[in-house]
Every structure is written in C-alpha cells, then in structure tokens.
A = this chain, B = another copy of it.
Amino acid sequence: MKIVIIGAGNLATHLALALQQSGEQIIQIYSRTEESASILANKLAAPFTNKINKINNESELYIYAVSDSAISDLIDLDIAPDAIHIHTAGSVSINIFNDKKRNYGVLYPLQTFSKNKEINFKDIPVFLEASSPDVLRILQNLACKISDDVQVINSETRLKLHMAAVFACNFVNYLYDVSNDIIIQTGLTFDILKPLIRETADKINYLTPYDSQTGPAKRFDRNVIDKHIQMLDNQPELKVLYEKLSQMIFNKHFHQP
C-alpha cells in the first residue's frame, strides 16, 4: 500500500518504520519543519517535503500523525479525495473528518514513543475506527501486519483510553522524574530506584493495582508522611502533591477495605 506520513514526531517515526518493515511503501514524509521531515525520510530512504502544496496527491493512504491541534488544518487540504485518510490521536473524534473526506478512520497505537528508544511495535495494542466496513477491513489488514493486538473501538472509548494512558504513563513518568530529582540531592544515583520501579510495574501482572498498594499513605502513617512533607518545605508544589496523593490513597483503601 502506498502511504504518505503527515508528521515526523515520535509516533510518526515509530509508525512509519513499523509500516515500512512490514512491507508497506512509504512514498513521502511531510513535516512543517524541513529538518524533522528529512531526518525521518532518511531513516526510510523516502522522499520528503515541508511544503503543503507539494504533498504527494497519488497515495492510497494518508496518516496524520501530528499534534491534535494541527490535524484539523491539515485535513482541510484538498488532497487525494478517493484515498483513505486516518489520524492517530487518542482524543480526537473520527468526526473531525466529517464532510472533509470520503474514506477515513483512526489508527491509535496505545504506547509512549520517544525517537531514541527502540520499541517492538508487535506488542503495542492498536485501536481502529473507520468510516465504513470497507475502510475498516483495509485498516485491519494493515494494522495486523504491524501489531498482534488490534481492536475496534469508538471515539468515546478511545478518549477514555487516552485519559487512562495519561495517568498510567505520562503522570507516572513525571513521578519518576520527581524521584530522580530527590535522589540526585542525596548524592546517590537514580539507578538505585530502578529495581523498585521495575518491581512496581511488574507486580500488576500478578496482583491488581489496588492489591499492590503499599507504603505510608495506605496505612496513613502520619508520622512518616509528616517527615516527608517537612523535607518538601522549600518545594510547595511537591508538598501539595504529596499530601493530595497520600490522602487519595488513604481514602480509597479506608473506604474499600
């Protein structure tokens, strides 16, 4: 299948590589900035452009893997009206294509992508939605080549899924970052937290997250909590966050014993 990738960010990069490796033909990369377009295009040995009016008009599939706010403007362009146009965003409804494209859909890979971290796309759950059964069939064929876990969900479910992912990934990673900052102050290295982080993520394969909960907040051990909060005296935002999360953990375990 001939594919144009609109976007050259983290997701666009990993998706384009996975599609090419599975035998699809990436015929062009478009990105607003020439540099990022060329970097991804080089990885794929594919042509690229940073000019909207130079986007290849003869592809079968256009994948809009750009920020949510950029999708709307890009699908307004009058490109290849008979092709399939899909976006990859968790929180953008399929209806964004209404009255703008004939054949369209969504291909949402539920994963965190960073350009410099390799990843096995086969393990990533991919969620599809399509404007018609015919388009869905084509997207399913495509998605099954790159992922072993392909499911069909609607836009409302995808939005909830995306929010759950923000908690389980983006917010979790921020807490890693906070713990890194604290560790660095002690002169120790972040490495000593890695077995703990690994085990915390592994445990939920054996116990529910609810049953996995440990620590002073669960017991509401005020003595420990106060010592920690005192150390955060010069970081008022973290102090509030620590208090809030501790209270929420305690409330959940106290009310659902």
Contact = CB atoms under 8 A, between A and B. Distances in A.
Interface in A158-202: 159-180, 182-183, 185-188, 190, 192-201
B114 A166 contact: no
Interface stretch (A17-25, A32-40, A132-140, A242-250): A242-250
B196 A110 contact: yes
A201 B203 contact: no
- Report the contact-size class of chain A (Cβ under 8 Å from the partner): 35 or more
A116 B212 CA distance: 10
A245 B67 CA distance: 20
* Copies of this chain per assembly: 2
A97 to B, nearest CB: 17
Residue among A171, A221, A232, A244 with the most chain B CB within 10 A? A171
Contacts of A186: 153, 157, 160-161
Interface of A: 10, 67-69, 90-91, 110-114, 116-117, 119, 123-125, 149, 151, 153, 157, 159-180, 182-183, 185-188, 190, 192-201, 203-219, 221, 223-224, 227-228, 231-232, 237, 240-242, 244-245, 248-249, 251-252
Given A91-B227, A91-B228, A110-B196, 4 more contacts: A170-B214, A172-B200, A174-B252, A177-B208
